[in-house]
């Protein structure tokens, strides 16, 4: 099993959202973040559009790992209406541009996990992963200790991506 090595600065973010099992009356973790009253800085939301937004992944695969999702809580790609689908993919494209400008990765993974069996950890709220990648970005910590290290606090990552977001 892959372990994660986290620093103390993460505790305040992780504890700011109550870790509860999905409750259809409360909505997904993303819906709870949106209704929490937290500022975009506190929630690590890096972009808001009319129908979609981009937020840092709280448990990233690498520094800069973003999630792009509609405000409306839906689980399936085919449930997006035309305007949501158009804005979602435009926002994914802008997220790729911002990550490339900020981190200069050698590559970027863009993908969805639709449904829990496909790996969707929050399958009730569709989200697109945008992950910067570098050759050899799996280092000795992953190979030996089943642990990922992240060299930058989420607050710093959010600020850097916001600053690089197209049109900002």
From the list 47, 65, 127, 129, the catalytic residue is 127
CATH code (residue 40)? 3.30.428.10
In a domain, 82, yes or no: yes
Q: Has residue 77 been placed in a domain?
A: yes
**Domains in the chain: how many in total?**
1
Q: What is the mean pLDDT of each run of 10 residues along the chain (168 residues)?
A: 57 50 71 93 96 92 92 94 97 97 94 77 88 75 53 87 90
Rounded CA-CA distance 10/156 in Å is 12
- Residue 135, classed as helix, strand or coil, is coil
Tens digit of each residue's pLDDT (9 = 90 or more) over 134-160: 887 765 445 445 555 566 888 899 999
Q: Is residue 65 annotated as a catalytic residue, yes or no?
A: no
Does residue 15 lie within any of the structural domains? no
DSSP 79: G
**Alpha-helical segments (H) within the chain:** 11-16, 29-34, 40-43, 82-103, 140-145, 154-164
- Report if residue 150 sits inside a domain: yes
**Does some domain include residue 152?**
yes
């Amino acid at each position: 099993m892959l372990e994660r090595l986290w620093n103390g600065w993460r505790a305040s973010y992780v504890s700011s959202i109550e870790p509860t099992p999905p409750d259809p009356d409360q909505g997904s973790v993303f819906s709870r973040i949106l209704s929490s009253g937290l500022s975009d800085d506190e929630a690590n939301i890096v972009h808001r559009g009319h129908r979609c937004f981009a937020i840092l992944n709280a448990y990233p695969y690498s520094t800069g790992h973003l999630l792009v999702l509609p405000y409306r809580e839906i689980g399936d790609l085919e449930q997006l209406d035309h305007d949501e689908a158009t804005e979602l993919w435009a926002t994914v494209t802008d997220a790729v541009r911002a990550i490339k400008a900020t981190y200069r990765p050698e590559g970027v993974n863009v993908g969805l996990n639709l449904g829990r069996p496909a790996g969707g950890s929050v399958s009730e709220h569709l989200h697109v992963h945008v992950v910067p990648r570098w050759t050899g970005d799996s280092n000795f910590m992953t190979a030996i200790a089943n642990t990922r290290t992240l060299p930058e606090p989420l607050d710093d990552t959010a600020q850097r991506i916001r600053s690089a977001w197209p049109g900002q």
